[in-house]
Structure 1
Amino acid sequence: MTWRQLHGDYDHLLQELNKEDRKGHKNFLRIYPALFEEMVERLTPILKKDTKIRLAQEVGLKLVVNLRHLASGNDYSSLQYSFRVSKSSISRFIPLVCQAIIDTYKPEVMNYPKTPEEWNDVAKQFASKWNYFNCVGALDRKHVAIKKPKGGGSLYFKYKKFHSIVLMALSDAKYRFLFADVDAEGGAGDGGTWQKCNLARAITNNRAGLPQDRNLPNDDEPIPLHIVADNAFALNPWLMKPYSHQSQDPTERLYSYRLSRARRVV
């Protein structure tokens, strides 16, 4: 029996959580045991690459190290002691596992709407679940901390004193990503980053397939279908944000509340 099998988290802690503490398993990896087992099964044909010299590491082990890294942000040096897998091995297989997850699940879980009918389906979800109408997505961004790129200068340096790249994401009313863009430098402003991403350009150039303006309930004036965001983004007919002034009247406060509640899904 190997040192990893005797002391590693994959062979001990994870098995304990799987049998006795499903919520703990969810907290540890951000997914429940059933989804973890499904992912192992579906990723095995891609990641299980035995050679004549040695057997490949278990797909379950690679996946749990990868998910723990994504869930916690623990670096490779920390993970190697928890799972008894060398840092060099972790650095090799984590990018492969991430790519395998993307290739396997992206067509199923990130369906970017392309037609008016598909955008209308998103708007119906926001109307029924959050009581906010004519909304086709909630937009936000997250700065992902990185090491300073070689020759990057201040391009990636964020005002909060770390280097980052920006994850820009649009989600539907059920907390599911519809679109993601991950390549902007953290030193750029949030609004400018959004204007440069493919989705913003498609909407601006009328290539996104958004439906025609339509009336709100109990109203006779057509209103554009739009994205909801916070005050970091520029106001547009197709992008709404809460009122920013402090002295909001009751109608403005109600609108800001409804919009902010719908935006929280992202």
Structure 2
Amino acid sequence: MTAEEFEFVLSKVAPLITKTHTKLRRAITAKERLALTLRFLATGESFSSLSFQFRIGESTVSMIVSQTCEALHRTLCDEYLKEWLDIAEEFLQKWQFPHCLGAIDGKHITIQPPAHSGSTFRNYKGRFSVVLMAVVDASYQFKYVSVGAQGRASDAGVFAESDFKQALDRNLLSIPAAKLLPGSDMEAPFVFLGDDAYPLRSDLMKPFSFRQMDHAQRVFNYRLSRGRRVVENGFGILANRWRVFLSTIMLNPDKVQKVVLACVCLHNYLNEDKLKKYFVTPAGQVPWQDNFI
């Protein structure tokens, strides 16, 4: 994150995290609160380590991280949204899959075992986690996230209980009506892409079974895989940018939810900001900066 990007994020969250001075002590500034939180998200350092670095008590560090993450989510969550047709066109141009509105998948966020939870949060890898289910567009932007499901739940189970499925069932997402496929007289609906764990629906497409596939089915699976992998790449970029995901987050599940949502919003902001630095040449798009992801 550049200094300009930091100042922009600070201008967004400052009204929500600025505290007033008292007669006994001066309040910690909004800039320090944001810097501390970003340090935690980017490194996954313990609160005791951050306490020594910023010369702030551990309990205060915990409170600042929780409050600032909540403020980041509130101020950035509605920014940088695209229309469905724009997303579908981007999938067609980049990954050659028409009528795609996004790729959906789940990711386990490793946490400390919550008190008195037994094996509720224990996943199939033997770790304790909460599940992040997300829909990602062709540019690795997160368009929908749901975090907090217990680690023992499968991707299909998380999807079945999500408000995303309920919105699909009730036609609340304003998904465009079916249209002709490019260069064809065949009409097809707009869909989301998932792996074999998800149910097959008219608005959710999954690959053919890997048994006894013909050539056309293999080609389809390859094309679907090209489109669906953006969600895997999105998770990878998210975890390597905010390295708190590469360690065990020593927080309760409700606070982990705030951390994840804040990281997703920051990820979208940084991605969108770097996309604006693209310029177009006759040969195609060229990154303006070498560190473009």
Shorter-chain TM-score bucket reads: 0.7 to 0.9
Amino acid of the structure 2 residue aligned with 1:38: F
Matched, 1:98 2:63: no
The sequence identity of aligned pairs, in percent, is 36
CA contact (8 A) 2:134 2:146 kept: yes
Deviation at 1:71, TM superposition (A): 2.5
Task: Give the alignment partner of residue 78 of structure 1, picking from 49, 63, 83.
Answer: 49
Partner of 1:46: 16
Q: CA deviation at 1:93?
A: 0.6
Per-residue deviation at 1:155? 1.9
Partner of 1:57: 28
The whole-number CA distance in structure 1 between the counterparts of 2:220 and 2:114 is: 42
How far has the Cα of 1:248 moved from its partner? 4.5
Instruction: Give 1:82 deviation, angstroms.
Output: 3.9
Q: Identify the structure with bigger relative contact order (alpha carbons < 8 Å, sequence gap 6+).
A: 2
Output the CA distance in 1 between the equivalents of 2:224 and 2:31.
Answer: 41
Report the counterpart of residue 241 of structure 1 in structure 2: 206
Residue of 121, 127, 130 corresponding to 1:156: 121
Q: Which amino acid aligns with 1:79?
A: L
Residues 154-174 of structure 1: CA deviation (Å, up to 9, x unaligned): 221111112211111112222
| Alpha-carbon separation, structure 2, partners of 1:134 and 1:71 | 35
Aligned mates of 1:41, 1:212 — CA distance in 2? 40
Matched position secondary structure for 1:265: helix
Alignment of 1:1-266 (within 5 A): 31-52=1-22, 53-109=24-80, 111=81, 118-245=83-210, 248-266=213-231
RMSD: 2.1
CA distance in 1, matches of 2:148, 2:62: 21
Give the drift of 1:145: 1.7
Q: Which runs of 5+ in 1 are unaligned?
A: 1-30
Question: In structure 2, what is the Cα distance between the partners aligned to 1:237 and 1:145?
Answer: 33
Aligned residues: 230
Question: SS at the partner of 1:108?
Answer: coil
Q: Deviations over 1:68-112 (max 9, x none)?
A: 222232221232234443312211111110111112111214x4x
**Bigger shift: 219-228 or 142-151?**
142-151
Aligned residue for 2:105, secondary structure, equals strand
SS state at 2:77 partner: helix
Equivalent residue letter for 1:32: T
Q: Provide the rounded CA distance (Å) in 1 between the counterparts of 2:5 and 2:215.
A: 45
TM-score by length of 2: 0.72
Distance 1:238 1:146, change over 3 A: same
